[in-house]
Amino acid sequence: MEATSSEHPGPALRLRLEVRGAVQGVGFRPFVFRLAEELALPGWVLNDARGVFIEVEGPRVRLDRFRERVVAERPPRSIVQSIEAAWLPPAGYGAFEIRHSDEAGAKSALVLPDLATCPECLAEVLAPAQRRHHYPFTNCTNCGPRFTILRALPYDRPNTTMLGFVLCAACRAEYEEPRDRRFHAQPIACPQCGPVIALWDASGAGVVRGGAALDAAAQALGEGRVVAVKGLGGFHLMCDARDRAAVARLRERKLRVGKPLALMVRDLGQARELCEVPELAARWLESVEAPILLLPRRPHAPVAAEVAPGNPNLGIMLPATPLHHLLLHACGFPVVATSGNLSDEPICTNEYQALERLGDIADLFLVHDRPIARHVDDSVAWLVRGELRLLRRARGWAPLPVTVKHELPAILAVGAHLKNTVALSVGRQVFLSQHIGDLETEEAMKAFERVIADFLRLYEVSPSAIAHDLHPDYLSTRWARARAAEDGELRLVGVQHHHAHLAACLAENGAEGRVLGVTWDGTGYGTDGTVWGGEFLLGDAAGFERVAHLRPFRLPGGEAAIREPRRAALGLLWESFGEALPDEAVAALGRLFDGDELRVLVRMLERELNCPVTTSMGRLFDGVAALVGLQPRVTFEGEAAMALEWEADPAEQGAYPVDLLVGSQGSGAPAAVGSWGPIFLDWGPLLGAVLEDTGSGVPRGIIAARFHNALVRAAVQVAGAVGEERVALSGGCFQNRLLTERLAGALEQAGHAVLLHRHVPPNDGGVSLGQAVVAAAQLKAGGGT
């Protein structure tokens, strides 16, 4: 022991450390305990709602060493944001102890996300002689559920859904033994004292319990049945991924037509049979976050075509809990593992609710009796520009905050309409919720309200303001208004949709000051009441100037155009040519519509009836996709744009012309942005070239590539004209990897610094973060109502 070495102890002192960050549920207290024991320093450690408190006393030299080693050797899963030290006179402690949690104080301790099963626990579960052999709820201080079992802070067993499971003697001994890897692991459990699984039929009648339930579920999957599996943050719907009929049945029952389905595979080896798995992807698949990764599928991957029709990628994940590991081992084949919900509703978390909501989808229910405190979906990510980038932020990341540079007032940001998330600022942290979904169903609205109530309770914050989208009809906007009407103290701050995208990208990158935001997506309510989406905003969190945008066009039928890209094509042609359509355009429309349909829509355009004006980049993608013969109708937003991206021939370097016009003068690319108004990106010449190439039989892959390249070239020209060095790329269009990689590369070549999203999605899942940051800046400047 170091304490017995021949040092000159000097007078004893007491050191108090206050450690803040993600330090609960990661084995921080046991680590401190072992370190204090090793250095023979008496004192105590405790979790409180703000973090971990430590007091130790002894000679200064050993206290200094203790302090250094707390930082240097802290547990691998912990995130230390700050350590404050205070020196005090000794209190005469006799030994070192782990004290009971202190409930007082502001709740700012970081709640840790759920952590996928660690290699030690997995080995233990698979080894025959262990007492946790085949036990689906095995975990330790390095792995297991956290956010999905937490009911209140601080993170201690009575505050989790493990409250009802009384530890057996063997588990208690591990829990209390500081040298054990389960010392103070709050969700510790074993077959004697922990949760149990069972297999139910669709009426809720028990078929079998315990280990036999896993084998029976695996067998049912092998026979082509659909099994609903209760996991960490909700139910998955599973079926054999190789079985075309089973996958088709699942799609049909779930009312999920086109969207790709995620797969769960047994291990990395099985992942490599299905997809190309580069080294970085392998590391992320096996990480504690264990996201669904979109990876290029192998040519003859043994997976039914119905899993991801026409898609060059498969979304695959590894099991994140022992339950899933055991099930995949019992199956031996990859399974479809899609969210346990109907269509776009939020994921089911409770077995009785699941019977009701999923009863018509699943044949069997593999359930357990550990309650899920809140829904958390699987995160979805892919690798772009050599880094993992999230498309859906949930398990593994939620609810970790984004840390900003300055303290923010407490603001609740209610997010966008699709891919909704909410955010709550507490000091310098903006806590970003798990993915909630599209606020289109009653279930989704309930989940939205539940997550808000959950966040406010967890962090014990009463917000002083609510930030919302400018769209007056979004249910989130209406909710915010109703809430403010009830509470006269609450201020309301409306945040423009693309401004929120820009601010989210700034906040995630820890950047301040003015940048050029290239914010491209499908739909966002503009300050002029039109539908924006192909925007260049120059600004920061406090404000923006719309320096450039797509040339506006009309969408016949408004919202209906999102489901029918052919309508966007018609809107573009109408804006470009009016009634004097060239032959190629007439031919294209003839392929897309029957005569009556077309006449009705043209009448609408002529009378400007239900034909909102838009500058949407998403709709430009849609329109071009429809014109080249891809996806005249879609089942989800972005489907046509995805098809166009996949079609593009990466070798093609040509680009269609896009004219940059200033105001209405049409004088070409300006030298600098001034008082003469925003730059128009006139896609008219591009549209003409697409029609011409389509008419003369140029391969679709070449046309798709020239279209992407045209947008890249135009955006680089705008950035040059604006003259801002830093450019942020945000908005749903940057889920397009080809566009993102080409544009970021071209901007860098032109001397710009590019800000991209990483762990906050570029799509509307990141909007709530941006809203919180913008609202804070505007309140500071005296805004809000």
Which of 23, 116, 149, 171 is in the footprint of Zn ion by CB under 5 A?
171
Which of 438, 454, 508, 521 is in the footprint of Zn ion by CB under 5 A?
521
Binding mask 103-132 for Zn ion (x = CB under 5 A): ---------------x--x-----------
- Distance between CA atoms of residues 428 and 443, nearest Å: 32
Q: How far is the CB of 600 from Zn ion (least distance, A)?
A: 30
Q: How far is the CB of 707 from Zn ion (least distance, A)?
A: 21
| Spacing of C-alpha 662 from chain mean position | 37
The residue among 295 and 402 lying less far from Zn ion, judged by its C-beta, is 402
Q: How far is the CB of 28 from Zn ion (least distance, A)?
A: 15
Dihedral of alpha carbons 260, 262, 268, 274, sign: negative
Residue 172 contacts Zn ion per CB under 5 A: no
Q: Which stretch binds Zn ion (CB under 5 A): 67-75, 91-99, 162-170, 196-204?
A: 162-170
Cβ-based neighbour number of residue 219 at 10 Å: 12
Q: How far is the CB of 497 from Zn ion (least distance, A)?
A: 6
Residue 192 contacts Zn ion per CB under 5 A: yes
519: phi > 0 → left, psi -120 to 50 → alpha, else beta; which? Answer: beta
Which of 40, 46, 168, 475 is in the footprint of Zn ion by CB under 5 A?
168
Residue showing tokens 């989130």:
476
Decide: 375 and 349 in contact? Cβ < 8 Å. yes
The residue among 135 and 448 lying less far from Zn ion, judged by its C-beta, is 135
Decide: 243 and 251 in contact? Cβ < 8 Å. no
Q: How far is the CB of 321 from Zn ion (least distance, A)?
A: 11
Residue 438 contacts Zn ion per CB under 5 A: no
Residue 143 contacts Zn ion per CB under 5 A: yes
Residues in a beta bridge with 535: 519, 549
Residues 245-264 that bind Zn ion (CB under 5 A): none
Q: Which stretch binds Zn ion (CB under 5 A): 169-177, 540-548, 567-575, 741-749?
A: 169-177
Q: Which stretch binds Zn ion (CB under 5 A): 163-171, 353-361, 400-408, 636-644?
A: 163-171
Residues in a beta bridge with 243: none
Residue showing tokens 């262990």:
130
Residue 662 contacts Zn ion per CB under 5 A: no
Residue 764 contacts Zn ion per CB under 5 A: yes
Residue 193 contacts Zn ion per CB under 5 A: yes
The full DSSP string for 646-660 is HH--TT-------EE
Q: How far is the CB of 542 from Zn ion (least distance, A)?
A: 20
- Distance between CA atoms of residues 550 and 548, nearest Å: 7
Question: How many residues at the interface with Zn ion, by CB under 5 A?
Answer: 12
The residue among 101 and 768 lying less far from Zn ion, judged by its C-beta, is 768
For residue 5, count CB atoms less than 10 angstroms from its CB and return exposed for 0-12, middle for 13-18, buried for 19 or more.
Answer: exposed
- Distance between CA atoms of residues 168 and 365, nearest Å: 28
What is each CA distance from 231 to 237, 238, 409, in whole angstroms?
Answer: 10, 12, 36
Decide: 725 and 751 in contact? Cβ < 8 Å. yes
Decide: 683 and 550 in contact? Cβ < 8 Å. yes
Backbone dihedral angles phi then psi of residue 261, each to the nearest 5 degrees: -105, 140
Q: How far is the CB of 501 from Zn ion (least distance, A)?
A: 6
Residues 544-603 that bind Zn ion (CB under 5 A): none
| Spacing of C-alpha 172 from chain mean position | 37
Q: Which stretch binds Zn ion (CB under 5 A): 106-114, 133-141, 341-349, 575-583?
A: 133-141
The residue among 192 and 462 lying less far from Zn ion, judged by its C-beta, is 192
The residue among 431 and 525 lying less far from Zn ion, judged by its C-beta, is 525
The residue among 439 and 573 lying less far from Zn ion, judged by its C-beta, is 439
Binding mask 64-103 for Zn ion (x = CB under 5 A): ----------------------------------------
- Distance between CA atoms of residues 472 and 334, nearest Å: 45
Decide: 263 and 240 in contact? Cβ < 8 Å. no
Backbone dihedral angles phi then psi of residue 597, each to the nearest 5 degrees: -55, -45
Q: How far is the CB of 758 from Zn ion (least distance, A)?
A: 18
* Contact positions vs Zn ion (CB under 5 A): 118, 121, 140, 142-143, 168, 171, 190, 192-193, 521, 764
